Amino acid sequence: MANSSSLVFLFFFFFFYSTLATAKTHRFVRSISPSSLGLDKPQKLSQLHFFFHDVVGGTNQTAVRVAAAPSTDKSPTQFGAVVMIDDPLTESPESWSKVVGRAQGMYASASQTELGFLMTLSFVFTQGEFNGSTLSVLGRNTVLSAVREMPIVGGSGVFRFATGYAQAKTHSIDALEAIVEYNVSVFHY
Ligand SMILES: *[C@@H]1O[C@H](CO)[C@@H](O)[C@H](O)[C@H]1NC(C)=O
Ligand SMILES: *[C@@H]1O[C@H](CO)[C@@H](O)[C@H](O)[C@H]1NC(C)=O
Ligand SMILES: *[C@@H]1O[C@H](CO)[C@@H](O)[C@H](O)[C@H]1NC(C)=O
């Protein structure tokens, strides 16, 4: 019967076609060895200590509100405010202290019951072996708590494959500037 041989042909055609298609769709992924990325070395644990300067006004403002909800200014927690930052990170609390990097990204008021920010930012380092390397922060910052903890979810440069956490403590605050002490502990290679 002509019909059954064409069915057999169709069956094999689709069988081979789908096998080929499956192989093709996975060609953008391949397995590599950890050593090809230098990951056969033991992980390092580093701790970074710096002061974050959030300047919300004045001539050298580094934090600007870029969005808000119609109800934000009536909210006791400024719920809905989004602030874009390019804040200097310094070695010691004084504003003339050596700049070691910047915090670039944004924070947004995400709690209706307390002052709690969602922080999504990069620490961009500009000194020595860390120059150009970044760490990514994504977490919750209840700024009135004595110590806040935020996850470090990744990094680049010397901080590739980074994981860890940041602890923040307010050093001082006035109408124009909040200075926050950070200790960041990260595993990286
Ligand atoms: C702003 O920055 C300039 C240049 O770094 C500096 O001379 C000036 O004192 C700063 N102003 C304030 C209010 O910090
Ligand atoms: C950091 O890297 C930038 C760009 O590569 C370079 O211009 C700058 O001089 C470097 N700074 C230090 C302190 O090494
Ligand atoms: C950071 O670590 C130093 C030394 O252990 C400690 O004195 C300081 O209180 C810590 N600061 C924060 C914000 O965790």
> For the segment 135-147, what is each residue's pLDDT rounded down to a tens digit?
999 999 999 999 9
Tell me the pLDDT tens digit for each residue of 31-49.
999 999 989 999 999 999 9
Nearest to 173 by CA among 76, 55, 91: 55
Q: What pLDDT, on a 0 to 100 scale, did the predictor assign at position 162?
A: 97
Kindly tell me if the per-residue pLDDT of 5 is higher than 70: no
Residue nearest to atom 13 of ligand 2 (CA): 127
Span from the CA of 168 to the centroid of ligand 3 (angstroms): 9
Span from the CA of 165 to the centroid of ligand 1 (angstroms): 32
Ligand 3 in contact with 86 (CB < 6 A)?
A: no
Query: Residue 90 has which token pair?
Result: 């310094």
Asked if residues 18 and 26 have their Cβ atoms less than 8 Å apart, the reply is no
Atom of ligand 3 nearest to the CA of 180: 13
Span from the CA of 177 to the centroid of ligand 3 (angstroms): 21
* CA–CA separation, 168 and 154 (whole Å): 18
Q: What pLDDT, on a 0 to 100 scale, did the predictor assign at position 8?
A: 56
Residue nearest to atom 3 of ligand 1 (CA): 60
Asked if residues 55 and 177 have their Cβ atoms less than 8 Å apart, the reply is yes
* CA–CA separation, 70 and 110 (whole Å): 15
Ligand 3 in contact with 169 (CB < 6 A)?
A: yes
Kindly tell me if the per-residue pLDDT of 1 is higher than 50: no
